[in-house]
Structure 1
Amino acid sequence: MARTQAADYGERREAMLDQAAALFARAGFQGASMIELAGACKVSKSLLYHYFPSKEDLLYEVMTSHLDQLVEDVDAVTSSNVSNGEKVSQLAHAFMRHYIGAVDRQKVLLNELINLPEPRRGAIIRKQRLIIDTVQDLLSGLPTAPKDKARLRALTMLFFGMINWTHTWFDPMGAVSPDDLADMVAALIMPEKGL
């Protein structure tokens, strides 16, 4: 007979992912043992294994759940009936809002991908490329977009560079709000929007 799931299975699993992301962000994948991860999650090691069969599974789920949210943001924005410029601006805002609440997951995604073996690393990279390529397609439709592919790719990566690393320096409670920062990113990428 199949084992039934607890009513709060999804909530508990998500809480474990948050705690694991915090430990991975602080200690790195190699520096975090399953015993330490279980302690951080306030569960027994056996219960942690019930939710995640291996440390690698836990790392993968931290990363993929973060990227899945970003893909949802991309899907929601790209399906809207607004200009490409407005979509780029909306994505800057959506990404900033998401990153503010997922600082640890963002750190893990940026720093620990090397610890995932194939094919999981490839799955993460494909999701990242989908997001990057979508933004590049939106930027290519702007009147001021570079016509040269290399320059267009550079512009796209500048967009992500401005947002992806905010966890290292940005204080969302500081003088510049996340929305203000997203507006600045959009204005720098699309000068016609103005600062």
Structure 2
Amino acid sequence: MARGRSAHYDDQRELILERAAHLFARQGYSGTSMNQVAEACGLSKPALYHYFRDKYALLVHIAEEHVSRLQELVEEVDTLQLAPEPRLRLLIERFVLEYARARDAHRVLTEDVRFLTEEDQARILGTERSVVGHFASAIGQQWPHIGTARLTKPTTMLLFGMINWMFTWLRPEGSLTHEDLAPMVADLFFGGVPAMRAPAHLQEPERQD
């Protein structure tokens, strides 16, 4: 008869992923050993292997669970069926706050995705592209002229450029929190996009050959 999981299995698993993400974010994936992960979790190395077969499995789970949570966020917002402006504002604010909660996992996804196999990278980045697509859809609904000028994707990536790299400069001990910045990012984006002008060659109608 197979031995069942302990009542605390899931909690322990989440703790391991959290501690591993913290080490990967601070030292890099290649600079972190399973011994260090085990020590950070207060486990023996054999006990750690009871949860994850190797360091690579930790990386996959950290990245996959992070993008899956982002996918859940956009789906939660979409179910609210908001008008274009509040929908996009809520998406921006939810993502800024999620990045604050999952700062280490986000940094791992941003910097260590290159260590994934092609298959795992394709699956995880596929989910990430789906998330970006939700934002692009929201931006296109808010500013239809952006789509007409073929600027929906570049505008979307400019937005992610603002929020994806906040972890590189925003310090927890600073005077501004992610809660402070979330509406500021939305205000900046909403104030700036209407002032954008498409390059001249994109203002011309597309040729129909």
Is the structural similarity TM-score above 0.5? yes
Aligned AA (1:15): L
Identify the residue that residue 99 of structure 1 maps to in structure 2.
99
1:1-195 → structure 2 map (5 Å cutoff): 1-143=1-143, 145-148=145-148, 150-171=150-171, 174-191=174-191
1:141 is paired with a residue whose SS is helix
Percent sequence identity over matched residues?
Answer: 35
Name whichever of 146-155 and 162-171 sits farther off. Answer: 146-155
Offset of residue 2 of structure 1: 1.5
Looking at structure 1, the residues matched to 74 and 44 of structure 2 have their Cα atoms a distance apart, in angstroms, of 37
Counterpart residue type for residue 56 of structure 2: E
SS in structure 2 at match of 1:87: helix
What's the offset of the Cα at 1:148? 4.4
Query: When the two structures are superposed, what TM-score results if normalisation uses the length of structure 2?
Result: 0.86
Does the aligned pair in 2 maintain the 1:84–1:142 contact within 8 Å? yes
2:36 alignment partner AA = E
Instruction: For residue 123 of structure 1, report the CA deviation from its aligned partner.
Output: 1.1
Contact kept in structure 1, 2:97 and 2:182, CA below 8 Å: no
Q: Once the two structures are superposed, what CA deviation does each residue of 1:68-112 show, in whole Å capped at 9, x if it has no partner?
A: 211111111011121122111111111111111111111101000
**Contact preservation (8 Å) 1:92, 1:186:** yes
Question: Using the alignment, how far apart are the partners of 2:36 and 2:177 within structure 1?
Answer: 35
Kept in 2: contact 1:100–1:172 (CA 8 A): no
Unaligned runs of 5+ in 2: 195-209
Query: In 2, Cα distance between the equivalents of 1:48 and 1:150?
Result: 49
Note the alpha carbon deviations across 1:135-176, whole angstroms, 9 max, x for none: 001111113641346421111011111111111112355433
- Assess, with a 3 A threshold, how the Cα gap between structure 1 residues 167 and 3 changes in structure 2: closer, same or farther: same
Which consecutive aligned stretches of 4+ in structure 1 deviate over 3 angstroms post-superposition? 171-177
Q: CA deviation at 1:124?
A: 0.9
Per the normalisation by structure 1, the TM-score is 0.91
The structure with the larger Rg is 2
